[in-house]
Every structure is written in C-alpha cells, then in structure tokens.
Structure 1
Amino acid sequence: MSTAPADVLGPVDYVLLEFPHDRFTGETSDALRNLVDSGVIRLYDLTVISKDPDGEVTVLDLTEATPDTGGFDFFAGARSNLLDEDDLRQAADALQPNTVAALIVYENTWAIPFVAAARNSGGELIASARIPAADLMSALDATTT
C-alpha cells in the first residue's frame, strides 16, 4: 500500500447534531472517540451549544466534565480555527429551544489513499454532494418491493 503525500487531505465535513437535553447521554461521544481512535476520521473542531427553553444560547466549556457536555468534554481543546463566531451563531440559530448540540468538524482520513491515487492519476474532484439518509433509505426500500 502506498503512502499518501503529506499535502493530501481527505474530505472535510461538519455536522450539527441536536439532542433533547435529557437524551445527551455520552453514547455519541463514545462513538466519535472510536472513529478518532481507529483513524477513520481526524477531529478538527468540536463545540457544544445549549439552547434553553427561552431560547438563550450558551457555548459550553468542555474543559470540565458535566452532565451538560454529554461526554464530549473528552475532546476539550479540539480547535482548528475553521469555525468562527458567525458559524457558531448560525449553528445556534438552527437549534430548537430546550436542546443541546454538538458542532463537529472532521476530516474523512479513510479517503486519503483514494484521494492520493486519484491525484496521482490526474483526477480532479469536479462535483460532490451528500445524499440525505432518508432519501437513501427510501430508494433502497423501493428496490426491495
């Protein structure tokens, strides 16, 4: 297996995962830790945002473990400067009242060998999109009926 050049990156994505306050249990944090530890992804940023029932927004401090951080305090310090105040404001605006969310920016490191091979062959990414899971499930269900 060839080694990818240092300047090759995998696709970088972000997700904003919203949870009811009482369901932010740490299970998602454990799954994220497994992805990072196994090298499937590289974590660039992780911010936890809370919106109370009145719509007041708080960016939680992840340097201390509390029930409000949902186990994501393990990733305290995951900051790459890819997210700015405007990004956090937009994320907070997307939240429903009485929820908590994890805003995560990550690199799909599993794709680096593929990206390197494509680049070595003169390949260039000219389009990319994400198919929503609900659309995929509907399409797959339609093929089995």
Structure 2
Amino acid sequence: MDLETSGPIDYVVVEIPPGGLKGDAFSLLVDLVDRGVIRPLDLTVVGRDAQGEFAVVSFDELSVQGVDGTFLHGASHDVLDDDDLREVARGIRPGYSAAVLLYENTWAAPLATALRRNGAQLLDSRRFPVQAILAKLDVLTGGADWSAPQRPAPDAAAHPTGPRPP
C-alpha cells in the first residue's frame, strides 16, 4: 500500500449486542471485500463489561453468524492503538461490544490516484447519519417520494428545438 495508488481510508464503529450479531451484515461486508470494493486494514473488536471496563476481544470470540475471520487476510491488527480503542469503548454500552473497521475504499483508488497525479488532494471527508439526511429530505420535499429520480416532463416551450428526448 502506498500513497500514490491508495484510495481514501475510512472507519466505522458498529455496536454489537450481547449474544453477538445475527443476520447477514458481516457476510455482506465479506462480499464487499471479495468484490474488491473495500480492503480491510484493521478490524478490532472491543467489549465493555458490566462495570464499564473495556477489553480487546478476538474476532473469533465474537459470535457472528456464518462468518469467520478469513476475509481479514492481510489486515493488520495494530493500526488502532489502546487510546483509539479506549475512546471507542467509552461510546458503547456496558455488556456490548463494538467492531472497529478501518478500511480502504479501493473502488475510489483510481480517482484518488488521478487527483493526486494532477496536483489535487482530499482535504476533508465526512459521513452524515442516514437518519439526519432522510429527515432533512422529508422537510425539503414535504414528504414527497424523492428516492426515484425525477425527470421533468418534456416542454417544447422551454426548449426551442422541441421536446427533450425521454
């Protein structure tokens, strides 16, 4: 991995309830890795006991339906240090655990490489909670269905050469 050919790097923290994660969430993550959409750089699981103390938990100790750790082949487990993990642990509820995934967006590597090659650099990147964006869109659209692309109806008056093709 080097600066010239790498994609943007993000992390996600997923709180996991006592008893483990059920369903297909991690198998969908494995699919993203298998298809080369992302590349895991580090996956560390932290847990908080009933007294609020945190400990690093092995991925194998985490109960994840139908997923083993082979999709992490080549990922480090040392990128996130104790201070990073302690900060994550403060945000999870006692008795729960959290998976912290640091990953490269390999799908964006060609764009990132071209930008760097042409003198540009990424200055900032942020994520917004989906719930906040959905609420804002509902306010802006008055609750209309905005999920389907809206195409204006052809209007000959607006286009002197005739209506736009569909």
TM-score bin (small chain): 0.7 to 0.9
Matched, 1:38 2:23: no
8 Å Cα contact 2:49/2:95 also seen in 1? yes
8 Å Cα contact 2:4/2:113 also seen in 1? no
8 Å Cα contact 1:10/1:107 also seen in 2? yes
Residue-by-residue CA offset, 1:32-65 (whole Å, 9 max, x unaligned): 1011001110101111122233323332223x4x
SS in 1 for 2:78: coil
Aligned counterpart for 2:69 among listed residues 69, 74, 79: 74
Deviation beyond 3 Å, 4+ runs, structure 1: 75-78
Distance of 2:4 and 2:121 partners within structure 1: 15
Residue-by-residue CA offset, 1:83-131 (whole Å, 9 max, x unaligned): 1111111111221112121011001111111112222333222333222
Higher helix share: 1
8 Å Cα contact 2:4/2:116 also seen in 1? no
Instruction: Give the corresponding residue for 1:84.
Output: 81
Instruction: Give the corresponding residue for 1:95.
Output: 92
Amino acid at match of 2:64: G
Distance of 2:3 and 2:84 partners within structure 1: 28
Gaps of 5+ in 2: 143-166
Aligned counterpart for 2:104 among listed residues 104, 107, 117: 107
Cα RMSD (Å): 2.5
Sequence identity, in percent? 38
8 Å Cα contact 2:7/2:107 also seen in 1? yes
8 Å Cα contact 1:24/1:100 also seen in 2? no
C-alpha spacing 1:131/1:6, structure 2 compared with 1 (3 Å): closer
C-alpha spacing 1:60/1:7, structure 2 compared with 1 (3 Å): same
Amino acid at match of 1:74: G
Residues matched between the structures, number: 138
8 Å Cα contact 1:48/1:69 also seen in 2? no
Matched, 1:9 2:9: no
Given the two structures, how large is their TM-score scaled by the length of structure 2? 0.70
